[in-house]
Each structure stands twice: as C-alpha cells, then as structure tokens.
Structure 1
Amino acid sequence: MASSSSKSSLRRSHGDSSGASSGHSHPRSATQSRLSTAPSIDIDTLVNHLLVAKRSLSSMTLVLRANEIANDARQSHDDVSILAAQAGFLRTSILDQTAILVRTRRSLQSTYEWGKKDFRKLVKSMDLVDGQLDHTMEMLRGTGVESVFRPQGEERRSLLDFIDEGGVDGVREAMKQSIQELQAIQQSFDGDLLRFDNDIRNLKKVVADTPSIQDIPQGNNPSAGEILESLVDHSANMAQLLASLTHHFDMCVTAIRTTEGGVALARRRAAEATQSQGNDGVSISGVIAEQESNVSDLEPKTAKDRAEMLKVVVQDAREVDDVVQEIQERLTAMEQDYTVLQEQHDISKQAYTGMLQAYAILGDIGDRLADYLAAEGDFKTRWDMEKESVFAKLQEMQQLKDFYERYASAYDSLILEVERRRAVDDRVRSIWRKAQENVDKLLETDRVSREAFRQDVGEFLPTDLWAGMQGSAKKWTVVKEGEDEGGGEVQPLRRSVVEAAKERLARAGERRGVR
C-alpha cells in the first residue's frame, strides 16, 4: 500500500490548489502575461509529469471494477443472508421430520422384531409337538404285534403297520407350508422396511452432503458483513485516490497551459506516446481546450499562486506511482475478499439447493409413508391369520399323538384282555374236567347197578315188558359251542409280554392323570 503521506499530500494538493486560485474574473491572456516572468520549472519536466498523470488516469478502470465488486458484494451479501435463512429453516424442519421418520421406523422395527420372536416361539412349539408325535410314531414302530394275534406264518408286523401314516405326513407338510408362509410374510415386511431404510438413508445423505452456514471456513477469515464493509471502504478510498489523480492531472494541464510553449510540446509528446503506447482514453488537447473555454478554479492569479501550484505539482508527481500502486493493491485485496464472499455465496446457494432437494425427497417419503404404515397393518393381519392356522395344525398334531398313544394303550389293553379270556377258558375247562370225572364215576356206579339188577331179576322178567330194561347207561359229554371269531384257540402269551403291557398302561394312566 502507498504511504499515508502520499495520500494526504495528493488530497492536500486537491484542497490547497482550489484555495490558491479562488478568483475567476481574470482572462487567460492577462494571467499568462503576469505569470510569464514567474519562477518556473523545466518545461520537459512539466510535460513528463503531465504524461505520467495522464497514464495514471487509466486507474479509472480499476476503480470502476472496484465499484462493480462493491455493488456485487452487496447483492451477494443480501443473497447469502436470504439463502442462509431459508436453508437454515429448511434444514431445521427437515431434521425434525427426519427424527419423526426415525421414530416411526423404530416402531415398525419393534413390530418386525416381535414377529421374529413370535416366529421362533411358534417354530419351537412346532418342533416340540412334532418331536412328541415322532416319538409316539417310533414307539408304534418299535412295538411288535404278538404272533398269537396274527395268522400263522405271517411276517412279524408292528403297530405302525396297521395305521395310515398319510395323515401325519399331510399335517407335517401343511406345517412346513405354514412356516414358509410365515417366512414370506416376514420377507415382505422386511422388504418394506428396507425401502424405508433406504429412503431415510438417502435423505440423511443429502442433508449430510449439503453444506451449512457452519461449514463456511471461519478461522481468521472475517464474516460476510465485515468483508462487505471492507470492500465498500476500499471502493470509496479508491474513488478518492482517483479523484486526487484527476485533480493532479488537471493541475498539470493548468501548469502546462500557463507555461509558454508548454501546450505545443505537451500535444506533440502526447501524440508520440499515443503512437507508441496506444490511446488510454484521455485527451490532453481536449482537457486544454475545455480549460481554455472555461476558467478553472485551478487558474493561478499571481506569480506566487503559480509558484505554489508548481510546488504542489512537483510534490504530487513524486507520489503518483505510489497512489496508482495503492489503487492496484486495494483492487487486488478486494478481488481476494470478493472471492471469499463468493465462496460463502456459493456455499449458501449449495446449502439452499441441497435443502430443496432434501425437501423434495422428504415429500416423496411422505407419499410412501402411508404404504409403510399399511405394510405394518398387513403384516399383523396376515401373521395372525397364519398363526391361527399354525395353532390348528399344532392341535391336530397333538390329537394325532394322543390318538396313537391311546392306540398303543389299547393294544396293551388287548394283551391283558386276551390273557383274561385265556384264563377264563382255562377255568372253564378245569371245571368241566372235574365235572366229567364225577359224571364218569356216577355212570360207572350206574353200570354196576344195572348189571346186578339184570342178574338178580332179569330171568324172571319178560324182555318185552320194558324195552329199556336191557339198555346200557347213558353217556354224557360236554362240547364247546361254536368257534372263536379269531379262528381257534388263542395261544398263551408270554408272562413278560403281559407284565410289560401292565406297566405301559400304568404309565399312560399316570400321564393322563397329570394332564
């Protein structure tokens, strides 16, 4: 930056020169005649100062750029404030809605976890009942039918051979289908939850990837308001510096114009400079003509005024380059600060755009939220319906198990019944055997008595008196009536078989008593 002395000097020359030439009534020819003998500096030096001052006015483009930056900065600052407020409001609202969505998702997850837990309980109950039924079936398979109950020569068979296992296989297959249906219900609900998770994840990702005002780098960087204030200050100072350069140029023109031969030399040197360096947009001839037609406030009235003016011109001429450099440095600083402000503006715009995108995603999720909630209701309804079907099948399996257990118990009862009947037959045969022995004894006594009767009186009684007199004693025989439907006598059962049947019946009775 240029020193403070250079700025104050140029500004002082601006003020002092205006005060040094306050008169406007004297014509230019009279002034030139009075000042022609006044002390002066070398005309070439004055012309050089004029050309340098003329070139310094090209800083006007820098000042215009500074003014443009300041105006754009004001607009950017306003945009940042508006975008930041809108983005902040949207972010807060979206985060609140996201929290509600997360709580809703947790509620749905609770329902899903309940379903998983209930499924494990149902499968455990299925395994338990199926295991009991399988145990009963194995017991029937391991219980052989005694050969005394079957035709001779038949291959040994078990109790399981006399039942239709199709019922068991059917209920087991139905149970497998119920398990598959429950799993399908879970998978359907899990798919809805997965889509809900993806929606929430995408929403969170957009929010997380979207910069916020807090993401604007701070550190040693000033705030947007401070940057704007600095830019406006730079622009104002640059305008003042340009005004000082313009005033210095006007003073140089006045000095040339009030110096004999100065105008011609200045025009010639300016033309040469234009040919070699190009036109910088400032016409010395035009300024000279304007001053000649309108008496300037800078016009010196006395030799003392002109000497003072030349002194200021020479002093300010030494500071022109510093002032130009300061304008350039200030513009460079403004460009840097404006870049920072633009970055903040870009971040704010990205934040707002990102929040709009997140808000649109939130709207889409809201449209699908009813479907997710309906999926929970559908899950519960289908689950309860299939659960009732599972309970019915469990009851059917339990009934089959109970039936087969009673079937096994009935077989044991059959063994005892057959043993009881055999015992009855044995007792009947024993009784009839003893009765036959007594009858045989009576008949033998009757035979002896009949023979004695015939010997005692037989010769005295005519044979045709009673036809039965010569007859023998009657014979008595006990004959079993009919045959068993089983086809003959039942062979006696082994005692171990009968005792085992008694024990099994006792255990079965105890189990039924516990129930």
Structure 2
Amino acid sequence: MSTPPTTTGDGQYLSPSPAISTHGNLASSSKPVLDSLIAHLVASKRSLSSIDLVWRANELVTSARAALEESVILGARSGFLKQGIIGQAKVLRRVRDGIEDVAREGQVEFGAMLRELDAADARLQHTLDILRSTTVEPGFRPTDDQPKTLHDFVDGQGVDNLKASIRSSIDQIQEAQKEFGDSISSFDSDLQAVEKAIASITVSSPSSSDVLESPIPLLLRSLESQAKEMADLLQSLVRHFDLCVTAVKHTEGGGAAARSITGDLPKGVNVMNRGGSDDDDDGAPPEPITEEEREDMLDVLSKDAAEVEDVVTEIRDHLAEMETQFDPVSSHVNYLTGVHDEAIAAFQLLEEIGTRLPVYVSSSRDYLARWEDEKGTIESRMEDLDGLREFYEGFLKAYDGLIIEVGRRRGVQVRMEAIVQEAMAKVEQLHDEDAAERETFRLDQGDFLPSDIWPGLSNPPPRYEILPLNKDVSDLPELPKKLIEQALRRAGDLGGKI
C-alpha cells in the first residue's frame, strides 16, 4: 500500500499552513465522496478480521518452537534408550551363547557316548550271535534231549534288564535335552523379539546427528518469516483503516458515520483513530487540513483501497502455506513420538526378559546336573555290557576248553585201557603158565603126596580182572576228531595230539 500523508501524533493530518480555515474542507465535501469513503471504511474494517489469521500464524510458530524442543528431547531419549537396549541385548546374547555352548557340548558328549554304546552293544551281539550259532555237541546231552545252542544257557533276562536300564537313561537324557532345547528356543524367541525391536528403532529412530537434520528448524524459520510478513500486512491494513477514518471525519457528515462503523472492531486490533464515541463533542470538528492535503489523502486512500482484498488474500495465502509447512513439523514430532514409544516398548520387553533370564540360566544348570547323573549311570551300564561280553566270550572259550578236555580225557582213557589190556594179557599168560606147571607137578608128585597134606594142593591158580572203581560215572562222549581240532585251533593250541 501507498505511504500515507504526514499526520500528527493523534493520527490527524498535518496542516502546512495554520492560517487555513476549517470551513474550506467542509465546503469541498460532497455526498458522493462520503458514500465512497464509507464504502472504503467498511471494506477496511472487514479486512481487519484478518487478525484471526495472524493469531493462527502466531499459534503455528509457537507450536513449531515447542515441537522443536520436544523433538530434541524425544530424539535424545530414544537414542539413549536405544544404546542401552543394544548393550543389554549384547549381554543377553553372550549369556545365550554360553547356554548354547553347554547344550552343544552335552550333545557332542552324548553322541560320543551313544557311539560307544552302539559299539559295546555290537560287540555283545556278536558274541551272542556266536553263542546262538554254536550247537551243543549231542554227546554232551541226554539222548532224549532237544538240540540246544550255547545261547540257551544264557540268562537273556539279565541282558534285557541291562539294556532296558540303558534305554531308560537315554530317554531321561533326551527328555532333559528337549526341555533344555525348549528353554533355549524360548530364549531365542525373546532375543529375536528384542533384536527386532532394536532393528525397528535403528531403522526409524533418529540418532543425535539425525536430530540436527530435522526439518523443524528450517520450517520454523520459514514460519517465523511468514508470520512476520502477515503481521506487516495486517499493520498496513490497520494504517489503511486509520486513513479511512480520518478521511471520513474530514468529510461533511462523516463524523457520525465514522463512530457508527468503528464502534466494534475485531479484538486485538490496535488502531490510532476509532472515530470517537457517543460521549464525544459532536460539534468539535477534526483538525483542519488544506485542500491539497485532503486531495493527496484521498488519492492515497483510493489507491490503497484497491489493494485491500489483495492484501487479505496474501495473508490467507501465507497462512495456507504455513499450515502446509506445519504438517511436516507435526508429522516429524509424531514420528519421533512413535520412535520413542517403540524404544519404551523395547525397554519394557527387555525388562520382561530379565525376569525370565534366571529361569534360562537355571535350565542350563538343571540340564548339566541331569546329564552328569545319567552319564554316570550309562557309563556303569556300559561296563556291565562289556562285562557280559567278556563273560560270554569266556563261556565260548570254556566250551572249546570242554571239548578239548573231553578229547584229552578220551586219549587218557584209551591209553589206560591199552595198558589194562596189556596187563591182563600178561596176567593171563602167567595164569596159563602157572596152571601148566601145577599140572606137571601133580602128575610128577601127586601120587606120592597124600591129599590131606595141604588142602590147597589141588587148587587152580588165581584169576585176576581189572575193573574201574567208579562204575557209576558216565561214559565220555564220543566227539568227532574234527570238532576237537577246531576247538584246539580256536584255542591256539594245535600242538596237542589226540
């Protein structure tokens, strides 16, 4: 708007010549001019309602300043929480890795123990298979007995009980592993939840450097600049209003109209010239001005009146742009608030996990205790397995030894019988020789000797027989020579002769 003519301190135009009469300006006024001036005054008054837009602009600036402060606080809090949560998550990860190491070592040891068990069981089964495939020589059994194998003499219930005990211990360990694994899985789920929350904060929450790159400071400067421009435009409307009031008052019949129109201005508008009140002296004319000053004033007023709507539109445009610029400010604060809420939620989740952490650690100790207990049981049972295998291998060796022993006894018996037969032959020969000598003696001397001189004179020579004293002992079985040789070969003693 144009710069108004020079005025006095109370808003009245200065008169270049104090000698000019006040009647001059009244005489120059006309009704058409007054009507035009009143229309300008009414339009000017209406434009002053733009003060509400200026108030709104001031609210936006104030809100933007508060948003900047809040964004700095939220960003700092979120960053601090995020770093703390990351540190605690690392501690949890180390604890979890330690628990995982316990589980892994237990699984490795358990796997090695199972392999040792399988090997021990395979050795035992191999020995049992040999017992099953080894038929007891029929000569060792009664003639009416069913064929048997060495395995028929094994206490199968003892083997089954031992294996059942081992399976029970294995089941206990596997159950402990499952419970421990479930605990680790639960721990993993908690860690994944925390890491997911941290990732969300890391992706979306601003770091300290991000706060410096916030759009709010730049937008705040723009909002402040536009608010100042709106205030300046409003001030130009106020000056135009004052000029309209002055012009109406310096027009004949305008005083009453000025008072009527300016009586209810928008709240907060600070004008210099309200046009008086009902208590004012209606007869008191305004300070006189020259015709030239009045013409200059009307010329300025006319030009400014044409720009009033443009000024009001410009104020509205400024406010609309400020509203648009404030949206990112509000969005950024909402964004930071959401990030802060995520950080708080992550921290609360961390606290919940902290209450469950002793349970996870305790599950590790429980697993170790159960593992050590059952491991000792299994190791003892493995020794029993090896003991059974050694016993059954001893049984196999003893059976080979039995075959060898029977063969040895058979050899001794054969030799003894040969000696008996040889002895009996010699005894019989002596008997026959004695009988012949006795007969010769009887023939040569018998006639001369009385029969009652010796009762045994005519007795035959004694006869002898060699018999076993333990006739009730069972006879030795007849074993095939090949069977005995195989037994000797297995025993590593091929030097014996049968």
- Shared fold (TM-score, shorter chain, > 0.5): yes
Deviations 1:184-216 (A, max 9, x none): 111111111111112112222333345744499
Give the equivalent residue in structure 2 for 1:377.
365
CA contact (8 A) 2:259 2:277 kept: no
Count of paired positions: 480
Return the alpha-carbon distance in structure 2 between the equivalents of residues 76 and 320 of structure 1.
34
Give the equivalent residue in structure 2 for 1:254.
246
Alignment of 1:39-188 (within 5 A): 42-188=33-179
Give the equivalent residue in structure 1 for 2:276.
289
Q: 1:402 aligns with which of 375, 390, 400?
A: 390
Deviations 1:11-61 (A, max 9, x none): x44x855799677899xxx97534235588833332222222111111111
Q: 1:36 aligns with which of 26, 37, 48?
A: 26
Report the Cα offset of residue 99 of structure 1: 2.0
Deviations 1:340-365 (A, max 9, x none): 11111111111112211111111121
Report the Cα offset of residue 173 of structure 1: 0.6
Structure-2 change in CA distance of 1:152 and 1:335 (3 Å) = same
Give the equivalent residue in structure 1 for 2:477.
491
Say whether 1:200 aligns with 2:187. no
CA contact (8 A) 2:180 2:363 kept: yes
Q: 2:181 aligns with which of 176, 190, 201?
A: 190
Identity of aligned residues (%): 33
Deviations 1:489-508 (A, max 9, x none): 1122112211221222239x
Give the equivalent residue in structure 2 for 1:241.
233
CA contact (8 A) 1:300 1:309 kept: no
Return the alpha-carbon distance in structure 2 between the equivalents of residues 248 and 23 of structure 1.
14
Structure-2 change in CA distance of 1:402 and 1:462 (3 Å) = same
Return the alpha-carbon distance in structure 1 between the equivalents of residues 130 and 109 of structure 2.
31
Amino acid at match of 2:379: F
Return the alpha-carbon distance in structure 2 between the equivalents of residues 501 and 18 of structure 1.
146
Deviations 1:401-444 (A, max 9, x none): 11101011111101100110111000000011011111111111
Report the Cα offset of residue 292 of structure 1: 9.4
CA contact (8 A) 1:21 1:300 kept: no
Q: 1:309 aligns with which of 297, 303, 312?
A: 297
Structure-2 change in CA distance of 1:18 and 1:139 (3 Å) = farther
Return the alpha-carbon distance in structure 2 between the equivalents of residues 119 and 18 of structure 1.
106
CA contact (8 A) 1:77 1:225 kept: yes
Return the alpha-carbon distance in structure 2 between the equivalents of residues 359 and 124 of structure 1.
46
| RMSD between aligned residues | 3.2
Deviations 1:345-395 (A, max 9, x none): 111111112211111111121222222222222222221221111111111
Return the alpha-carbon distance in structure 2 between the equivalents of residues 141 and 381 of structure 1.
41
CA contact (8 A) 2:183 2:360 kept: yes
Give the equivalent residue in structure 1 for 2:458.
470
Return the alpha-carbon distance in structure 1 between the equivalents of residues 8 and 415 of structure 2.
161
Amino acid at match of 2:326: Y
Return the alpha-carbon distance in structure 2 between the equivalents of residues 18 and 506 of structure 1.
143
Deviations 1:155-209 (A, max 9, x none): 1101111121111101111111111111111111111111111211222233334
Structure-2 change in CA distance of 1:466 and 1:113 (3 Å) = same
CA contact (8 A) 1:38 1:306 kept: no
Return the alpha-carbon distance in structure 1 between the equivalents of residues 214 and 366 of structure 2.
57
Alignment of 1:344-423 (within 5 A): 344-423=332-411
Instruction: Give the TM-score normalised by structure 1.
Output: 0.85
Return the alpha-carbon distance in structure 1 between the equivalents of residues 189 and 254 of structure 2.
84
Structure-2 change in CA distance of 1:405 and 1:195 (3 Å) = same
Report the Cα offset of residue 303 of structure 1: 2.7
Amino acid at match of 1:35: N
Return the alpha-carbon distance in structure 2 between the equivalents of residues 19 and 222 of structure 1.
47
Structure-2 change in CA distance of 1:380 and 1:299 (3 Å) = farther
Amino acid at match of 1:383: W
Instruction: Give the TM-score normalised by structure 2.
Output: 0.88
Structure-2 change in CA distance of 1:431 and 1:32 (3 Å) = farther
> What SS class does the counterpart of residue 287 from structure 1 fall into?
coil
Say whether 1:232 aligns with 2:224. yes
Amino acid at match of 1:498: I
CA contact (8 A) 1:145 1:159 kept: yes
Report the Cα offset of residue 104 of structure 1: 2.1
> What SS class does the counterpart of residue 475 from structure 2 fall into?
coil
> What SS class does the counterpart of residue 48 from structure 1 fall into?
helix
Return the alpha-carbon distance in structure 1 between the equivalents of residues 447 and 487 of structure 2.
70
Give the equivalent residue in structure 1 for 2:489.
503
By percentage of residues, which structure has more helix? 1
Structure-2 change in CA distance of 1:120 and 1:360 (3 Å) = same
CA contact (8 A) 2:8 2:14 kept: no
Report the Cα offset of residue 110 of structure 1: 2.0
Report the Cα offset of residue 320 of structure 1: 1.3
Return the alpha-carbon distance in structure 1 between the equivalents of residues 44 and 29 of structure 2.
22
Q: 1:324 aligns with which of 304, 307, 312?
A: 312
Return the alpha-carbon distance in structure 2 between the equivalents of residues 252 and 340 of structure 1.
41
CA contact (8 A) 1:143 1:158 kept: yes
CA contact (8 A) 1:102 1:200 kept: yes
Return the alpha-carbon distance in structure 2 between the equivalents of residues 23 and 291 of structure 1.
23
CA contact (8 A) 1:90 1:355 kept: yes
Q: Tell me which stretches of 4 or more aligned residues in structure 1 moved more than 4 Å.
A: 15-26, 37-41, 263-271, 279-282, 290-295
Deviations 1:445-476 (A, max 9, x none): 11111001000010100010011111011001
Report the Cα offset of residue 108 of structure 1: 1.7
Deviations 1:50-88 (A, max 9, x none): 222111111111111111111122112111111111111
User: Unpaired runs of 5+ in structure 2?
Assistant: 494-498
Amino acid at match of 1:347: Y
